[in-house]
Structure 1
Amino acid sequence: MKIDAKTVKWFRIVLGIFLIVYALNKFFHFIPSSYGDMPETAQDFLDSTAVLLPYLYFFEIIIGFLLVINKWSPAIYIILAPLTIAFLIFSFSNKDFNEMWPALFVAILNFLLILSEKGKYKPLFA
């Protein structure tokens, strides 16, 4: 699958801005969000990791900024992959399919961006 450079640029910038806005919203709550009724285990997980979440959101802001300025983008896509998978797993485990669009959006964009740079990853798997 070959994606042209202009499309890759827009995907990268949109993903970066989305990550920045999503993380800043977790700090400043300027976009209303509702996770609906979470299963008790998911709420327990969030409660037990609440002290680490600000660091994760700060990390997302840095990743988003680096994507917007196109610094180390191929490395950032790989670094973002485990976070994307965790985001998807958490969203699926909540079983609230109306609220999982951010996870799907990030996963699809990250996957397409990784595919667009697949030639740069060949030495990793040789």
Structure 2
Amino acid sequence: MKIAVLIARVLLGLIFVVFGFNFFFHFIPMAQPAMSPQATAFSGGLYGSGYFFQYMKVIEIVSGLFLLINRYTALFILALFPISLNIFLFHTMLAPAGIPVGAAVIILNLFLGIAYFKYYKSIFTAQPTV
């Protein structure tokens, strides 16, 4: 189990670091697949905001780096979950050509969330005491 967690953590960290940096430096040539009008509108809104996509990519890079160095891992798994879920849902609903990547990202994130669940148990306390 430890080896599977290590592999999943490193893979997820590398995915977010590499694609986060690629957004800023364009070192991996990526052709845009044909997207539906809804996918184009969604992406256009994120880019058009002027800050959101850049902010999200910085979170991806920082979170990915912390996964790679294995520091605050449980926190950064939680930070990446909404991003992973949106990647998965975007490709499932709006751009089906990317479903394999979206599925891989969400599966890795869910696997790590389950593996690190002992760190989240206290969050699910119904009536916490002070």
TM value normalised by structure 2: 0.85
In the TM superposition, what is the alpha-carbon distance from 1:123 to its structure 2 partner? 0.9
TM value normalised by structure 1: 0.87
In the TM superposition, what is the alpha-carbon distance from 1:34 to its structure 2 partner? 3.1
Which one-letter code corresponds to 2:25 in the other structure?
F
Percent identical among aligned pairs is 27
Structure 1 unaligned segments of length 5 or more: list them.
none
CA RMSD of aligned residues (A): 1.5
Does 1:15 pair with 2:5?
Answer: no
Counterpart in the other structure of 2:59? 59
In the alignment, the residues of structure 2 paired with residue 44 and residue 82 of structure 1 have an alpha-carbon distance, to the nearest angstrom, of: 20
Segments ≥4 residues shifted beyond 4 Å: none
Superposition pairs of residues 67-82 of structure 1, within 5 angstroms? 67-82=67-82
- RCO (CA 8 Å, sep 6+): is it higher in 1 or 2? 1
Contact 2:9-2:112 at 8 Å conserved across structures: yes
Structure 2 unaligned segments of length 5 or more: list them.
126-130
Superposition pairs of residues 103-118 of structure 1, within 5 angstroms? 103-118=102-117
State which of 29, 42, 47 in structure 1 corresponds to 2:44: 47
Which one-letter code corresponds to 2:58 in the other structure?
F
SS in 2 for 1:32: coil
Counterpart in the other structure of 1:38? 35
Count of residue correspondences: 122
